[in-house]
Amino acid sequence: GAVVSQHPSRVICKSGTSVKIECRSLDFQATTMFWYRQFPKQSLMLMATSNEGSKATYEQGVEKDKFLINHASLTLSTLTVTSAHPEDSSFYICSAMGGGIQYFGAGTRLSVL
């Protein structure tokens, strides 16, 4: 089956630093990738839709300057949390569209001190 790799799996950083999370489709090309955020005991919340070669589409309430998304190739999308603060601590999950189905990465646990 389709494999989506997300890296890093866990990151701890100081407040004010920027953190980059990578999402790769390993065995298929994905023109569209998605970034989600998940709080404890809650469902996944879509943050943005990333399209290769174009600007990402952000959901209402998501700051595009805070969460920078780059989809530079058909197998890689990155999410950069800029000037991270403790309230940005969360579980971030990416997915990649392959054959009309979203395949999910393993997630990244971000902890901002």
Partner 1 sequence: KNQVEQSPQSLIILEGKNCTLQCNYTVSPFSNLRWYKQDTGRGPVSLTIMTFSENTKSNGRYTATLDADTKQSSLHITASQLSDSASYICVVSASSNDYKLSFGAGTTVTVRA
Distance, in Å, from the CA atom of 79 to the CA atom of 60, rounded to the nearest integer, reads 17
By the rule CB under 8 A, 112 interacts with partner 1: no
- For every residue of the chain, DSSP letters joined together read ---EEEE-SEEEE-TT--EEEEEEESSS--SEEEEEEE-TTS--EEEEEEETTS--EEPTT--TTTEEEEEEETTEEEEEETT--GGG-EEEEEEEEETTEEEE---EEEEE-
CB of 19 to partner 1, least distance (A): 17
CB of 1 to partner 1, least distance (A): 8
Residues within window 17-76 making contact with partner 1, judged by CB under 8 A: 32, 41-44, 46, 49
By the rule CB under 8 A, 97 interacts with partner 1: yes
By the rule CB under 8 A, 80 interacts with partner 1: no
CB of 86 to partner 1, least distance (A): 19
Interface positions with partner 1 (CB under 8 A):
4, 6, 9, 32, 41-44, 46, 49, 91, 93, 97, 100-107, 109
